[in-house]
Every structure is written in structure tokens, then in C-alpha cells.
Structure 1
């Protein structure tokens, strides 16, 4: 009987025939017999290769990595602990002990593998490195937590904690959304160092840096609406107020210097400034409401804990 009988390894795949078998075998050799491959309809033999390597294979009903992860945890996994990884052989199955230790010890309910702790040469292009750094800095600025590598696809979490996250992203934004939801739900998160390797020759990435990077930035900003409303509405208000101030400056300059009035622009300037100020005020009010809500939730949780201890 393995010490990891309560753990399921989740591998979302899409045309990963070159690497999926070695990834499945690596995790099985590490002592994790429960490997689930959820496939997005590969046509290159990925599903057959995964089955031959000993994985349980299901085909997802929708499209995209995010939808695959949600469907797998909701409908196909009964184990209380889940290890999520990519099937491209960039992650080291030997790191799974470090990934699971915080879960099994009760230190955390969600674990993120930090790829930057041991990133091998060629594992990530310079453009992707810069993009990852910018996204992590933005996450820290917007959501107030330092998870070091929120885009890491190597995760471990309890099935129960995952089901409490409100996840809607269908594509590669799922990792970002999981990080934001962990902050929003105040889940205990551990970050552990892992090895990140170059993709083996012959395998192609499904990631499009510019397109998917834009989606991730938008996801970070969109999620600020409920997790950091002061930033979300405040930034919109600042932009609108600044636009109003610039238009006002132009109208005054052209009127004073050239004697040319701009009534329409002046009306637009007043409208933009008024909207901006209202958004700033709304941001402050929303932030106060969110703070009070979190205090009430904390009090309720303490009351429940005190009641269960009696």
C-alpha cells in the first residue's frame, strides 16, 4: 500500500504524445499510482500513449485547460489530495514529495511550485521570463500576496479547498485565477522550490506568449473588482479624472492664448472628471464594505471553531 494512495495526479493534455508516457511513468515511479489524464481531444495518439503508460484517461467535454481542470476535479477525482502538472516533461516528478509535504502536514491547502528556484537553461525564453516577472509583480501589487510564480502549472491542493474556489477561466488563465481565488478565500498557500526543464525536442508548446499573456493580465485586473475594489475602481477613476484634467487644461490654454472656446470639449472634461471622482468614491466605499465583510466572516469562523472545540 503506497503512502500516496489518497493522491491523484492530474495531467491536462492536448497533443502531448511525445512526452505524456514518460510523465505518467515518472509519477508512477515516484509512488503515485493514481494518474488521471484529461485530454482535450488529441489527434496524435496522446490518449493511447497515456493508457499504455498506466494512466486513467478521460476526454473532456469542453475545450481549454481551465475547463479540463474544473471538470476533472468535479467529476473524475475522488482522492482528497490532487497534484496538478503539465504533461510536457518540463516538471520533475521527483519534486512531488516537496509539493505534498505542506498538504499532508496541514501547513497549507494549496501549494505552488516555484519554477524560478531552479530553472534550467533553455526552459523559458527571455520574453517569457520578463512576462512572468511582470505578471507576478502585478499580482503582488493588485492582490497583496507574494506567491513568486503564480503561472506555475505544478500545483498540489486538497480537493475540498479547490471546490471552494470560484473558477471560470477556460484556458491558461486557470493558474492565475486559482492564485487570486486563494487570496480572496484566504486559503493557506505554500510556495516550494521546484526544477523547471526545457521541453524535450519534438514536443510543441500550446502556449502563445502575447495572446495568453494579455488574457492573464486582463484576468488579474478583472478579479480585482471583487478582491481589491479600491484598486479596480480607483484606477478607472484616476484614468477618467486625468483625462478630464487634460481636456480642461487644453480648453483653458486655447481660450486664454488664442481666444478659441471649446464648449463641447469643456462639457466632456467636466463629465470625465465627475465620473472619475465618482469612481474613486465608489472604490473607497466598496473597499470599506469588503473589509467589513471579511471581518464578519472571520468572526463567524472563530465562533464556529470555538463551538467545535467545546
Structure 2
């Protein structure tokens, strides 16, 4: 039976000296002694404070939260990983809520929903609007509603991590984790957590407009392999509409003013042909992706049945 000793608390940090000590103490008070702090080269005393409070500290070789998380996974061999930001906005007391579905075998990935219990002032109105937009875009593009895909408080099994193909370097890592869960059909649960304001004397590393744009681009980029009909269809539809509008303009000019626009007509024809081709390609790609998922699901069922048979024979 798995216990808290099988859990590694992963904390990516960058200039979190004002909060990291309390964060580590809080998780250790919850019985989670295995704490890994992976630091992005903080200019303050984050690394020293983390080490003093009993955490294993590693300085990442590159930069960005996404790169830190990907690199940290290579240092972790525990069966379960509890990932949390080091800014003091997440409560160690909520660790049980995230770990319970993993330890009971009900899920392989758990996301903490910040919007279930958010302290007043913990998130700006701009960030709230941005989060809603991104969550709706995720649900529309990838077909699953995880409520809060940008949450930095997550728990996951080592087995599920090994199935991820992560490439994000920055704040797009949470988005990429969510997409990978859908892509690989990883059992995912969303649990309510408390989200609190950042402690005084701490500054956020998030830049709403820049990082929001990166996250949206990550959503769109990953649709190529997860929802190709949307990925190719959106561009194809835009091209088709532009071509059709140009074609209508050329036709109106010809019939009403007897003026020909050969170049515009050529561009319109190319736009329409290109749009139709992308739409057809998107449909075919979508069929292939769905067939692949079905085959992988059947393979997983066979492997699970084999594991249960082996466990039964050992007993």
C-alpha cells in the first residue's frame, strides 16, 4: 500500500525567498518530507532558504517554469509527484485532496481547482478573464472541461509522467500537462482547493499578456495532434472565406462595372482550393487520430487485464 513516503513534492521556484521557507515547512508538517526545489537561478536567497528548511535543491540548467518541471521529473523516482508553486498561494493542507484520488487508484492526474475557493484579491480581474478565456478555449479545442487548466497545484503518478511528451519552456507547462492528459486518455480528476493571495514582499513572475498569448498558442499548437480537425479546419475555413469574399468582389465588379480583376480572381481561386484541401486533410487526420486512440484504448485494456492476471497468480 502506498503512503506519503511515496510522494515527492516538486516546487519550481524563481525569486521566492519570502515564501519558500513557509511552503516547505507546511508540507513537511503534513508528513510530506520528500521535497524537491528546482530553482531557475534566483537572484535572492531562495536556494539557501530552501536547503535550510530541509528541501533537496537543484538549480535547473535552462530557464522557464516548463523547462524546470521537465528537468525535475528526471530527478524524481517516487511513484507520485505533487507539484506546487513556491509563492505561498496554495495551502499544504489541500495536499490530501489532491493525493487521495492517486493513492486510491481512482486517477492518475489530479488538478486543484482554484476557483472553488478563491480568497478575495488573490487574482486580478484581468487574470480572471484570461483564465476563463483559456479554459473555454481548451474545452472547445480539446473536448474536455478541466475547469482550471492553469492551476499550478497538481498531483500525478510516475507512470502518467512517463507517457507525457512535454516541450514547453515557460508558463505553458500547465496547459501542456492538461493537453497530454486528454491526448493519452489519462484518468484525470479535478478537486476543489483554496487559493490565497501572495504573501507580502513577493512579486509574481507572470506577465498576463505575454504569457497568456504563449498559453493560447500552446493550445492551438497542440491541437495539431489532439484535434487536427480544429487545427487544420480553422485555417482552412479562414482561407475558404477569404477566397469566397474575394470571388464575390470580382464577380460584382465584372457584372456591374465590366471590370476584370485577374490577379484578385487568381488569389480567390487559390484561397478556395487551399481552404478545401485543408478541410479535407483535417477530416482525414481526425479519423486517423480517433482510430489511433481507439486502438491504444484497447491495448491499455489488454495490458490491464494481463497485469491483473499476473497479480492474481502471485497471490
TM range (shorter): over 0.9
Go from structure 1 to structure 2 and tell me whether the alpha carbon gap of 1:308 and 1:57 turns closer, same or farther (over 3 Å shift).
closer
Report the counterpart of residue 175 of structure 2 in structure 1: 176
Report the counterpart of residue 64 of structure 1 in structure 2: 64
Distance in 1 (alpha carbons) for counterparts of 2:291 and 2:230: 17
Distance in 1 (alpha carbons) for counterparts of 2:163 and 2:201: 38
Report the counterpart of residue 297 of structure 2 in structure 1: 298
Report the counterpart of residue 39 of structure 1 in structure 2: 39
Superposition deviation, residue 259 in structure 1: 2.0
Determine if the alignment matches structure 1 residue 141 to structure 2 residue 140: yes
Superposition deviation, residue 308 in structure 1: 4.2
Report the counterpart of residue 50 of structure 2 in structure 1: 50
The correspondence of residues 117-132 of structure 1 with structure 2, limited to 5 A, is 117-132=116-131
Distance in 2 (alpha carbons) for counterparts of 1:273 and 1:24: 58
Distance in 1 (alpha carbons) for counterparts of 2:98 and 2:303: 30
Superposition deviation, residue 3 in structure 1: 4.1
Report the counterpart of residue 312 of structure 2 in structure 1: none
Comparing 298-307 and 193-202, the one that deviates more: 298-307
Go from structure 1 to structure 2 and tell me whether the alpha carbon gap of 1:3 and 1:297 turns closer, same or farther (over 3 Å shift).
closer
Distance in 1 (alpha carbons) for counterparts of 2:7 and 2:31: 10
Go from structure 1 to structure 2 and tell me whether the alpha carbon gap of 1:309 and 1:4 turns closer, same or farther (over 3 Å shift).
closer
Distance in 2 (alpha carbons) for counterparts of 1:255 and 1:232: 35
Superposition deviation, residue 257 in structure 1: 2.1
Q: Scaled by the length of structure 1, what TM-score is found?
A: 0.97
Go from structure 1 to structure 2 and tell me whether the alpha carbon gap of 1:309 and 1:29 turns closer, same or farther (over 3 Å shift).
closer
Superposition deviation, residue 49 in structure 1: 0.8
Report the counterpart of residue 12 of structure 1 in structure 2: 12
Secondary structure of 1:186's counterpart equals: coil
Distance in 1 (alpha carbons) for counterparts of 2:301 and 2:197: 46
Superposition deviation, residue 231 in structure 1: 0.9
RMSD: 1.2
Report the counterpart of residue 260 of structure 1 in structure 2: 259
Superposition deviation, residue 111 in structure 1: 0.4
Go from structure 1 to structure 2 and tell me whether the alpha carbon gap of 1:57 and 1:177 turns closer, same or farther (over 3 Å shift).
same
Secondary structure of 2:211's counterpart equals: helix
Secondary structure of 1:193's counterpart equals: strand
Residues 3 and 103 of structure 2 are in contact (CA less than 8 Å); yes or no, is this contact kept in structure 1? no
Superposition deviation, residue 301 in structure 1: 2.5
Secondary structure of 2:205's counterpart equals: coil
Report the counterpart of residue 214 of structure 1 in structure 2: 213
Residues 10 and 35 of structure 2 are in contact (CA less than 8 Å); yes or no, is this contact kept in structure 1? yes
For structure 2, list consecutive stretches of 5 or more residues without a partner in the other structure: 310-315
Distance in 2 (alpha carbons) for counterparts of 1:309 and 1:58: 38
**CA deviation map 1:70-120 (0-9, x unaligned):** 11111x112111100000000011000001000000000100000000011
Q: Scaled by the length of structure 2, what TM-score is found?
A: 0.95
Superposition deviation, residue 242 in structure 1: 0.3
For structure 1, list consecutive stretches of 5 or more residues without a partner in the other structure: none
Report the counterpart of residue 245 of structure 1 in structure 2: 244
Superposition deviation, residue 258 in structure 1: 2.1
Distance in 1 (alpha carbons) for counterparts of 2:3 and 2:295: 39
Go from structure 1 to structure 2 and tell me whether the alpha carbon gap of 1:309 and 1:19 turns closer, same or farther (over 3 Å shift).
closer
